[in-house]
Structure 1
Amino acid sequence: MIRKLLPPALALVLPIASALPAAASPPPARTVLAADPVPGGARISLPHPTGPYGVGRQSLHLVDSSRTDPWVPEAGARELMVGMYYPARRGTGTPARYATVDEARLMLADIGMGDVFPAEVLSTTATDVRADARPAPGRYPLVVLSPGFGYSVFTLTGLAEDLASRGYVVAAIDHAYESVGTAFPGGRMLTCVACTKVRSEEDLVAATSGRGRDMSFVVDRLTGADPAWRYADLIDRHRIGAAGHSIGGAGAAAAMAGDTRIRAGANMDGAFHSAVPETGLGNRPFLLFGTDDEIHRPGGDDPSWDRAWTRLDGWKRWLTVANATHFSFSDFPVLLDRLGLPGGGSATTLPGARGLDLTRAYLGAFVDRHLRHLPRPLLDRPTPGNPEVRFNNP
C-alpha cells in the first residue's frame, strides 16, 4: 500500500506500511511575493478560496509543559507551531508567505525535486492569506487541522484558507519532529526525527495517539481561561471540529475519543492506527473521505476503515473519490500540475485543482452541517456535478 509521493524520510516506515493499513464577494487581486522564476517564467498559486471573507493568519508557538517530547526527550517539553487562519477584513494585512525558504527547500529535496525549481518559488506560492489581517467581527467555529506524517501543515493551506473564508477559525498544527522541516523560534529548524523512529504498528499507534493529544492541547490553549492567541474571542468554544490528512485524520479521531469538546471529525485517507473505541465516539459525527481504490473502498486493503465504520455511532459518511491519490487531499498535486511536473493530475489521476475543489466542498459541507447546523444536501447523496465521489454504505 505504498502511496505515490511518500517522502524518502519514510523509507524505514514503508516496509511496515506495506504490511499494515496505509498510513460570496469576489476576491481581490493577489500580490505575489518576489521569487526567482521557474522555467518558462511560471508562477504558482492556489485556487482562490470560495467564501465571502478575507483570510488572515498568525503564528503561535505553543509549549505543553505537562509532556516530554516523545521523539526527542532531551529537548524537553512538547512544542507545536500553529498557524491560526481566521475570517478577516479584506484589504488588511500583508501577503503571507506559503512557507519559509528553508522549509520549502527541505520539502523539495525530500520529494526529489530540489533541482527542478527553486525553493524560493514554492515558498512564495500565491495564496489569498494575509498576515496579521484585521479580523472580521463575529464568533466562529474552530477547526483543528493536522497534516500527514512527514509533512508540514503548509501542505493543507488550500483547505485551511478556504475554511477561514467560509467563516471558520482554523488551527493548523505543525507537530515537532514529525515533518521534514518546520521552523521554530530561535532559528531552529526541526526535522523529522519521528520518520527514523517509527518502525512498527505499535509506533504508529503511539504517533496517532500523540497527534490526538496535540490537537486537544491546542484546544486547551485557544479556549481556556488564559488563551494563547490574541484573537481567541473570535472562537465559539461550543463549536469545535477536528480534521486531518493521513495520520492527521486518524489523529482527529483519537482527539475525539479523548476530548468531548470536539463535536465533529474527519479523516482524509488515513489509516486508523489508533482504533475508534468499541463504544464509539459518543454519537458525534465523523466523515471518512478517501481514495476510491483497493485500499479505502469497503472491504479494501485497509481494514481499519471497515472497523471504524462499524464503531462510529453518530452521523457518518464514507465517501471515496475516483482517480484520487493519497495526496489529492493536499496542495501538492495542484502545485505540481501548475508547473507541468509529474505527480499531479494525469490522464489516469484526478487533476490537482479538482482534488482540492472536492476536498474544500465536502469538508466545508461537513463542518457547515455539524458545527453550524446548516442544511448541506451535498452530503445526502451522489450529485451529477461531482461524479467522482462515491457514497459507500457497507
Structure 2
Amino acid sequence: MRMLEMTLAALDLLVLIYFFVIGKSTSSRKTTNMLIGAGLLTFPVLQLLLEGYRWQLIPLYFVTLILLASILLRLFRPVPIFKKRRILRYISGLALSGLVILSAVLAAALPVMDLPKPDGADAVGTVTFDWTDGNREETLTADPGDKRELIVQIWYPAEKSSGEPQFLFPQDPQIFHNYISAFAEGLHLPAFALDYWKYARSHSFQDAPVLPSPKPYPLVIISHGLGTSRMLHASQAENLASHGYIVAAIDHTYSTAATAFSDGRITGFTTELSAEDIYDKARVIGEIWTQDVEFVLNQLDSLNAGRIESDFTGKIDMNNTGIMGHSFGGATAYNAAYTIGKIKAGINMDGTLIDLDRDQLNKPFMFLQSDDSANMAEALDDPAVPEEIRGRISKELKIARHVIERGGQSIHIKGTAHFNFTDLQFYSPLIKYLGMTGSIDGYRGAYLVNRYVLDFFDKYLKGGAGELINRPHADDPEIDFQKL
C-alpha cells in the first residue's frame, strides 16, 4: 500500500476502536470528535489528490464516509436518537473493520507496481519510436496493403533530471483505457480491474538529453515473450542503461498483449498458434520477429548516422551489439544472433528454441534457466513424454552443450519459474500462487538476472573480465552453472 493509503486505513481502525471499544461517553468529547472529524476529512482528500483513487480502496472510502457521518452526528446531535444494543455496536464495528481489512488486502494483493531501481551510476532517459517497415508486408493482418509497423522504446544513459520519472503506461485517458482493455481481455478480466496501472512509474525520464560520452554506448536489443509486452522488461532495460548501454525493446505487433501506437491505435494479441501445427507456425512467427530485430537494427543505424533526426547521432556503438529475450523472445534472440552478423552476443531467458536443425552458433551466448527448464533433461528418460518432444529436447540440449563448449554459459537460477525473468513478478504477489513465478523473492531474482546479464554484456560488448559468468560465487548460492 502507498503511504497515504496506509495512513487512512490506520486512522479508520483507530477511530473504530475509539467508537466501538472505548465506547459510552465519547459523544461528550467535542474537541476529540472535532479532531477525528478533521482527520477523516483531510486524509481522504489528500490521498485522492496526491496518490489518486483506485478501486481496491472503495471499501476503505465507504468506511471513512460512515465514520465521518457518525462524527458529524455526534457533534451536531450530541444526544443519541436511539440507543444501540451493545451486541449491535460490536457487530457494526467488526463489519466496518472487516471492510478496512478487505481494502488493505486488495491494495496489497494488487499494488501499484514498484520496479527495482537501476543500480548503475547513470541517470536513465527514454524515448519511444513508431517505425514502419515499408519493404515488408504485414502478414498477421488480412489487409493486403498493410506494412509491418513496430513500437520501439529506447532507454539510454541520460543527463541528470530534476523532474519526475515517467509513468510506465500511456497517460492519455482514452489510449490508456483502450490499452488496459486489451490487456484485460487476454487475462479475462474487466478493464477497470487494471485501472490502477496508471499510477505505476518507471525510473527513467522522458526525452532527457543523452549523457555525453567520449565514445559511443554499446547497444542491446530486448525481445519480449509471446503475448506479453516490452513493458515487462522495463527494469532490465533501465538497469543496463544506468550502466552505460543503449537498450531498445521491441513490441512485436499482434504478438503482444497490447501495443499503443503514436496515433492512439491499440493492437492486441491476434497471433494464431495451435497444438496441431505449433512448431511450423512458431518458425513463421520466429522469422517475423527476427526480421523485426533486423529492421530495428537498421533504424538504429540510421539514428546513429543522423539519417533519422534524433539525439543519438554518433552515440550508438553499432559494432558492439547484443540481444536478449524472454521465452519466445529468447528463442528470437538465439535466431537473431545466428542470422544477423551485426549481433555479437546474445542471451536467452528461459525460452525454448524454435529452429533446431541449423548449424551450431559460433558467437558468445548465454542461457538463463528456470527450475523447470533446468530439469528438461529428465524428460529424455520419461516414456510418458512423446518421442517428438524428447527428440526436440535432445537437439536443444546439444545446442546448449555447444554454446558452453564455445565459452558460453547455461545458468540455472534456483527457485525461479518462467516469469521471474520479467517484471510481471512485481505486478502482484498473487503471481507466485498461480505458479508463474517461483519460490525466490522477486527482487532477489531480478537482482541476480540483472547482475549476470550485465556481466555477460560487459565481457562481450565492453571487453570486461566476466568475473561473475566465469565461475560460481559464494554470494550467489542460487546460481548453478550447468554442465549438461
Secondary structure, in 3 states, of the residue corresponding to 2:343?
coil
Residue equivalent to 2:396? 305
Q: Between Structure 1 and Structure 2, how many residues are aligned?
A: 357
Pairwise CA distance, 1:336: 1.3
With over 3 angstroms needed to count, the CA separation of the structure-2 counterparts of 1:229 and 1:336, relative to structure 1, is farther
Partner residue in 1 for 2:159: 89
> Structure 1 residues 377, 217: CA separation in 2 closer, same or farther (over 3 Å shift)?
same
Whether 1:360 aligns to 2:450 is yes
Alignment correspondent of 2:126: 57
Query: Distance between the aligned counterparts of 1:228 and 1:237, measured in 2?
Result: 15
Would you say the 8 A contact 1:253–1:276 is kept in 2? no
Structure number with the higher helix fraction is 2
Aligned to 1:36: 53
Greater relative contact order structure (CA < 8 Å, 6+ sep):
1
Q: 2:280 aligns with which of 202, 220, 224?
A: 202
Gaps of 5+ in 2: 1-48, 57-102, 171-175, 380-392
What is the identity, as a one-letter code, of the residue corresponding to 1:166? H
In 2, are the aligned partners of 1:297 and 1:320 still within 8 Å (CA)? no
| 2:220–2:247 contact (8 Å) kept in structure 1 | yes
Structure 1 position 107, deviation (Å): 2.5
Which structure has the larger Rg over C-alpha atoms?
Answer: 2
Report SS of the residue matched to 1:265. Answer: strand
- Give the equivalent residue in structure 2 for 1:127: 202
Identity, in percent, stands at 27
- State the Cα distance separating 1:304 from its structure 2 match: 5.0
Q: Which residue in the other structure is 1:267 paired with?
A: 348
Alignment of 1:147-296 (within 5 A): 147-195=224-272, 199-224=277-302, 225=305, 227-228=307-308, 230-232=310-312, 233-275=314-356, 277-278=358-359, 280-281=360-361, 283-293=362-372, 295-296=373-374
- Conserved in 2, the CA contact under 8 Å of 1:345 and 1:351? no
Larger mean Cα displacement after TM superposition, 236-245 or 352-361: 352-361
Give, in whole Å, the separation in 2 of the partners of 1:105 and 1:111.
Answer: 10
Q: CA deviation at 1:43?
A: 3.5
* Displacement after TM superposition at 1:47 (Å): 1.3
Contact (CA 8 Å) 2:255, 2:271: kept in 1 or not? Answer: yes
Contact 2:324 2:330 in 1 (8 A): yes
Q: Tell me the distance in 2 between the aligned counterparts of 1:126 and 1:303.
A: 43
- Aligned partners of 1:55, 1:90: CA distance in 2, in Å? 8
Q: Higher mean Cα deviation, 73-82 or 236-245?
A: 73-82
SS of 2:271's equivalent in the other structure is: helix
Whether the 8 Å contact between 2:420 and 2:445 is mirrored in structure 1 is yes
Residues 122 and 229 (structure 1 numbering): CA distance in 2 closer, same or farther, change over 3 Å? farther
Check 1:323–1:58 CA distance in 2 against 1; reply closer, same or farther (3 A cut).
same
Change (3 A) 1:375 1:341: closer
> Cα–Cα, structure 1 residues 229 and 235, in superposed 2: closer, same or farther, change >3 Å?
farther
Q: Does 1:103 align with 2:120?
A: no
Q: Which moved more, 1:148-157 or 1:177-186?
A: 177-186
* Higher strand content, 1 or 2: 1
Residues 33 and 124, structure 1, Cα contact 8 Å, conserved in 2: no
Change (3 A) 1:349 1:63: same
Contact 2:131 2:152 in 1 (8 A): yes
Query: Cα distance, 1:92 vs. partner?
Result: 5.1
